[in-house]
Structure 1
Amino acid sequence: MRKIRLFIAASLDGYIARKSGDIDWLFTDGDYGYTEFFNQIATVLMGNKTYQKIQSFGEYPYPGKKSFVFSHKLQGTTDDNVEFVGGDLQEFINNLRQASGDDIWLVGGGEIIKYFLSHGLIDELILSIHPIILGDGIPLIEKDSSLETLLELTNVKTYESGLVQVFYNLKTNNC
């Protein structure tokens, strides 16, 4: 079965973007393991807000990867980069995991991360913690006591920039 992996960056205080959705504070001076990770995945999943933000970057950043965007309004449609899916997400995700191929990357954002956590669908979390405190923004994980999940630390990498990357396996069931 293919693993679903959340590879994401956050500020030290747990935000993945500013309230406006801007990610101008993210380091872009190095690879930070991105290329190695990208080469291990075949499929990209994201929420519609994240996809709309990615559209503002210009060129689509995930060429050669099968990409799905979760959207109830646009489900069943496609564009040059992605297929929009909605409806029974649990069945869609289970079928995707059973298909052959490399792993699946859950790109974000916060709402879809909450859904995946609440349904025990994330196998691995790779979190790049940037040495900045934003004070406000879009949280990595929305507050919800039902999301309590055990993590198993598998690796830690540090970089001269001050970025710390932590690797966790998630337990199969919530606490």
Structure 2
Amino acid sequence: MRKIILFIASSLDGYIARPQGEIDWLFTDQNYGYSDFLNSIDTIIMGRKTYEQVLTFGEYPYQEKKSYVLTKNINFQAEHDVTAVADLETLVKDLRRLDGKNIWLVGGSLVIRDFLEKKLINELILSVHPIVLGEGIPLFATPTTATNLQLTGCQTYSSGLVQLFYDVVG
């Protein structure tokens, strides 16, 4: 069965973006396993706010992947051959039935919370950047369902970034 993997970066104090969504603090000096990860997936799921943030980067970076945007706005129109979806559980059930590679849960924190609550995440890869932002958008929106994780790996980089690999238990 296809796995849903949360591959995401956070600051040391647990933020995935500055208060207005800025991610200027993320390291871009190395690949940090991103290319290998991208080759292991063929489908992307993200929240509407994350999708809109991605659109500010210029060219849509996931054109070769099937992409879905979760939104409660029934009038939302996605671009770049991205499908807008309201029913998260039906989407995941349908995707897991299809043959293919793993599925990347991109974010944001509200979508992550929903996936954790419904026990839909199989793995978590967290790239912790050695910076304290002090405020911003948290990795886990509160309240978040308690979730047990098992550490399966750890990779350190010369930049100070630490990448943690977890399986979701249960």
- Coarse TM-score class (shorter-chain normalised): over 0.9
- Rate the CA distance shift 1:114–1:75 in 2: closer, same or farther, 3 A: farther
The corresponding residue for 1:16 is 16
- Rate the CA distance shift 1:20–1:77 in 2: closer, same or farther, 3 A: closer
The corresponding residue for 2:123 is 124
Q: d(CA) in 2 for partners of 1:148 and 1:10?
A: 19
The corresponding residue for 2:109 is 110
* 2:63 maps to 1:68: no
Q: d(CA) in 2 for partners of 1:101 and 1:75?
A: 29
Q: d(CA) in 1 for partners of 2:160 and 2:152?
A: 20
Name which of structure 1's ranges 51-60 and 91-100 shifts more when overlaid on structure 2. Answer: 91-100
The corresponding residue for 2:168 is 170
In structure 2, what residue type is equivalent to 1:26? L
In structure 1, what residue type is equivalent to 2:150? E
In structure 2, what residue type is equivalent to 1:20? Q
**SS of residue matched to 1:147:** coil
In structure 2, what residue type is equivalent to 1:5? I
Name which of structure 1's ranges 115-124 and 90-99 shifts more when overlaid on structure 2. Answer: 90-99
**SS of residue matched to 2:133:** coil
**SS of residue matched to 1:21:** coil
Contact map agreement 2:149 2:166 (CA 8 A) in 1: yes
Q: TM-score, normalised to structure 1's length?
A: 0.93
Name which of structure 1's ranges 30-39 and 72-81 shifts more when overlaid on structure 2. Answer: 72-81
Contact map agreement 2:5 2:123 (CA 8 A) in 1: yes
* 2:85 maps to 1:85: yes
Q: TM-score, normalised to structure 2's length?
A: 0.96
In structure 2, what residue type is equivalent to 1:153? L
| Per-residue Cα deviation, 1:72-109 (whole angstroms, up to 9, x for no partner) | 214685422411011x3212211111211000000000
Contact map agreement 1:76 1:85 (CA 8 A) in 2: no
* 2:96 maps to 1:97: yes
**Percentage of matched positions with identical amino acids:** 54
Q: d(CA) in 2 for partners of 1:42 and 1:74?
A: 25
Aligned pair count?
A: 170
- Rate the CA distance shift 1:135–1:78 in 2: closer, same or farther, 3 A: closer
Contact map agreement 2:11 2:132 (CA 8 A) in 1: yes
* Runs of at least 4 residues off by over 3 Å: 74-78
Q: d(CA) in 2 for partners of 1:72 and 1:100?
A: 27
**SS of residue matched to 1:136:** coil
